[in-house]
Amino acid sequence: MNKKTIIWIVVGLVICMVSFRIVTSKGKAKASDTDSSKPVYTQKVAWGTMRTSINASGNITAYVQADIFSRVPGKLIQNLVDDGSYVRDNQEIALVDRDEIGTSFTTATVKSTLSGILLKHYFEPGQKVNPAMPVATVGRIDKVKAVINIPEGDFLKIKRGFKAIITVDAYPDRKFYGEITMLGAQIDMLNRTGQAEITLDNSDNQLKPGMFAGVEIGLASRSGLIVPINVIIDDGNTKKVFVVENNLAKERIIKTGMTDDSNAEVLSGLKSGEELITDGQRKLKNDDPVRVIVE
């Protein structure tokens, strides 16, 4: 084989290689051009629990409390019990120098009318007291109440016995649990709210009368198919979502039930285990080819 022949063979091989690369490159470009599938993210439709609730705020009060009065006018001589101390029903809590014309000097006693904690004295020794003004307040705080006002639209949704979760600023990481034990008989015409009382156990004495309370009242709880609320496309007449079937986007008309800020209960139109499109669904039409992105 002479030198000239070898040169022509090499040239031929180079031409073949270049041609092959051009053909394969065009093939890839053509395949890429014809791939019209749209990328989407998905999650499986699953059962969950939906809860709805009402949020309100109010104040912690003693479970029962009573203002204690002096039976006679006069000057307070001494407070016999300190604030925060336990007192028994009929226990003496203060002494008063009687201030009655024509009466010989006698010391009057002020007695508690309730067993509980002496929450507050209102007078210091030397100050004048009279039967129209309380000398002290005594309350029972082994249980306490959260007293709240609820807008009338929500007030009509709650009943006695409904459970509630209470939080207070003093214990930001702790939740207290109670239930509604009183509902007001009328709506306040000025602020359009109704009053409710929630009773809580306070045997550890952590809750104090006067604390500000945040309250969440549970209205309903039930199991069902749950989907993120932001995957639902609502045109005002129908609600729909998209699922993936055989690499195609399939439109599903759904009916929803309970909702909250994040999720919606699906009453019909979806089945557990279906592959729900959670991102990219608003650019889809029925039977569009899709490509699921795996994170």
Q: Would you list the domain boundaries of the chain?
A: 38-51+222-292, 53-60+143-221, 65-140
Q: Where are the alpha helices (DSSP H) in the chain?
A: 3-34, 152-155
CA-closest candidate to residue 147, choices 56, 82, 49, 12: 56
Instruction: State the first-to-last Cα distance of the chain, in angstroms, to the nearest integer.
Output: 60
pLDDT score recorded for residue 69: 98
Of 30-44, 177-191, 218-232, 264-278, the one with minimum mean pLDDT is 30-44
Q: What would the mean pLDDT of 24-39 be, rounded to a whole number?
A: 57
Q: Are 66 and 209 in contact, with CB atoms under 8 Å apart?
A: no
Q: Strands, DSSP E only, in 184-211?
A: 193-201
**Going by C-beta distance under 8 Å and a sequence separation of 6 or more, which residues neighbour residue 246?**
none
CATH of 38-51+222-292, one of 2.40.30.20, 3.40.50.170, 3.90.226.30, 2.40.420.20: 2.40.420.20
pLDDT score recorded for residue 7: 54
- Superfamily the domain 53-60+143-221 falls into: Efflux pump adaptor protein, beta barrel domain (2.40.30.170)
pLDDT score recorded for residue 3: 52
Confidence of residue 20 (pLDDT cuts 50, 70, 90): low
Q: What would the mean pLDDT of 235-263 be, rounded to a whole number?
A: 93
Q: Are 27 and 115 in contact, with CB atoms under 8 Å apart?
A: no
What whole-number percentage of the chain has pLDDT above 70? 86
pLDDT score recorded for residue 37: 87
CA distances from 44 to 48, 66, 169, 178, 273 (A): 12, 58, 39, 36, 5
**Going by C-beta distance under 8 Å and a sequence separation of 6 or more, which residues neighbour residue 118?**
81, 82, 83, 84, 85, 86, 87, 93, 112, 136, 137, 138
Looking at the DSSP assignment, which residues form a beta bridge with residue 165?
177, 216
Look over the chain and give the mean of its residue pLDDT values, rounded to a whole number: 88
Domain 65-140, what architecture? Beta Barrel (2.40)
How confident is the model over 51-62, as pLDDT tens digits? Answer: 888 999 999 999
This model's pTM is above 0.85? no
